[in-house]
Amino acid sequence: MKQPASQSTSGSRQRPGGTGMPLIGQIAKTTQGPMRLISFSFDMTQAVARRRFPLRPGLHCSIYLGPYFIAFIAFIAIRPSSIMAAVLTGWLPPTRENWALTLAVFQISYPLISLLQIPLSWYGMGKTSVDSRLNLPGRVAWILMEAPGFMTLLYMMKTLPQMHGIDDLPWQNRVLAGLFVIHYTYRAIIFPLIQPSMSPIHILVALMAVGFQVLNGTCIGAWLAAYGPVTAEAWAEQSSTGQFVAGIAIFYIGLASNFFHDEELREIRRTEKRRQERILGERAGGNAGGGKTVSVEKHYQVPQAGLFRYVLYAHYLCEWLEWTGFLMAAGWGCAPAWAFLTNEVCAMLPRAVKGKKWYIERFGEDKIRNKWAVLPGVV
């Protein structure tokens, strides 16, 4: 295996064909032509304005704003691809410096954003979704907002090793990337397709989730592809084989039990669907549903199977276990895995605590009193 460029002191190698110029410099260079045009337009406008022609407002406006409008169109039309390229160079995929910055932003911004859930009563998704023109259909929104995570990670795995001269990533990097993709193939694609129904999701919630996924996919993906341990020696220091295997075992227990508890929630609606169909069938004289459709939208019951006997958000708890296993396998010093786990807990804990209040209001204190929200013995 070649010595990866990421091990060099400069920390990152420029993209082949890249200019090596900093981002601001590249944007400035790209936009030089349009900027001159804007400056010329400005001078012309000033010249016209100085002569103080007695212009009618409409005409005055056209003369004054016209050049700006033309310059704007030129700016957009002439060089969009090079502006895009300048903006994306060094970010997609990121250089080591930009990756470190992305990680810092992810570590700080999303926990803070998640804390806003505590004072806010609004959350435009699931049990608390409300009618809004800005709602997206649940399944579509879910796929669109969850899929960017594993797509970003795959993009990092495809591009970064090549750029850093890494011919062959260690097996640990491939296993962890594979587990991430397995999780998100279920979460982003299979999960929304097999849910009996999903409440609409507000576009703001969906956009926040897209941001989360892109940042997380970038942080973990780039770490696995180039900026984390990329040699057998580096892995020996990062996480022993025993710790790695134990972490993967925990990951699988978490994944399987997360699926099990998701399945229990699905079964509540499937059972309700069968019940409604049976009633319709009986009314129609045994004629399977009598041609009428049933709806299980927003049908909720208190789940009872597995850990749901003790905690209302057992599926969340299992998901945390899953990503704790991932962190353990990746090594306790893996900052992106820490950021992911911390952000998940910060995002889901307030939902679970508020969810418990929702269950109490809906089903009464008696049925919920003995259940924890998400962490048995704690909350």
Ligand X SMILES: NC(=O)c1ccc[n+]([C@@H]2O[C@H](COP(=O)([O-])OP(=O)(O)OC[C@H]3O[C@@H](n4cnc5c(N)ncnc54)[C@H](OP(=O)(O)O)[C@@H]3O)[C@@H](O)[C@H]2O)c1
Position 254, amino acid: G
Smallest separation, CB 326 to ligand X (Å) = 13
Is 149 a residue that touches ligand X (CB under 6 A)? no
Interface with ligand X, residue 138, by CB under 6 A: yes
If the CB atoms of residues 160 and 268 are measured against ligand X, the closer one turns out to be 268
Interface with ligand X, residue 268, by CB under 6 A: yes
Q: Is 342 in the site for ligand X (CB under 6 A)?
A: no
Q: Is 319 in the site for ligand X (CB under 6 A)?
A: yes
> Which member of 10, 185, 301, 304 binds ligand X (CB under 6 A)?
301
Q: In terms of C-beta density within 10 A (0-12 exposed, 13-18 middle, 19 or more buried), how is residue 286 classed?
A: exposed
* Residue that has been written with the tokens 């999903």 in this structure: 198
Is 265 near ligand X (CB under 6 A)? yes
Residue 327 or 348: the one with the smaller Cβ distance to ligand X is 348
Q: For residues 161-220, which are near ligand X according to CB under 6 A?
A: 195, 197-199
Looking at the Cβ atoms of 240 and 295, the one nearer to ligand X is 295
Closer by beta carbon to ligand X, 141 or else 226: 141
Establish if 322 lies at the interface with ligand X (CB under 6 A): no
**Structure tokens given for 55:** 């212009």
Closest distance of CB 212 from ligand X, Å: 8
Question: Is 111 among the residues that bind ligand X (CB under 6 A)?
Answer: no
CB closer to ligand X out of 164 and 261: 261
**Beta carbons within 10 angstroms of residue 72's beta carbon:** 15
- Give whole-number Cα distances, 216 to 43, 88, 189, in Å: 47, 18, 18
Q: Which is nearer to ligand X, 103 or 262 (CB)?
A: 262
- 239 contributes a contact to ligand X by CB under 6 A: no
Instruction: Please state, in angstroms and as integers, the Cα–Cα distance from residue 214 to each residue in 92, 152, 207, 327, following that order.
Output: 11, 6, 11, 19
Sole binder of ligand X in the list 258, 334, 337, 345 (CB under 6 A): 258
Phi, psi angle pair for 132, to nearest 5°: -160, 145
Does the footprint of ligand X cover residue 344 (CB under 6 A)? yes
The structure tokens listed for 256 are 């399987």
Interface region with ligand X, contact rule CB under 6 A, candidates 26-34, 245-253, 264-272, 365-373: 264-272
Q: Which stretch binds ligand X (CB under 6 A): 43-51, 102-110, 153-161, 313-321?
A: 313-321
Do residues 315 and 191 lie in contact, with contact meaning Cβ atoms separated by under 8 Å? no
CB of 351 to ligand X, least distance (A): 6
In terms of CB distance, is 95 or 199 closer to ligand X? 199
The minimum distance between CB 3 and ligand X, in angstroms, equals: 37
Q: Least distance from C-beta 301 to ligand X, angstroms? A: 5
- Interface pattern 118-137 for ligand X (x via CB under 6 A): --------xx----------
Contacting residues toward ligand X, per CB under 6 A: 126-127, 138, 195, 197-199, 258, 262, 265, 268-269, 298, 300-301, 303, 315-316, 319, 344, 347-348, 351
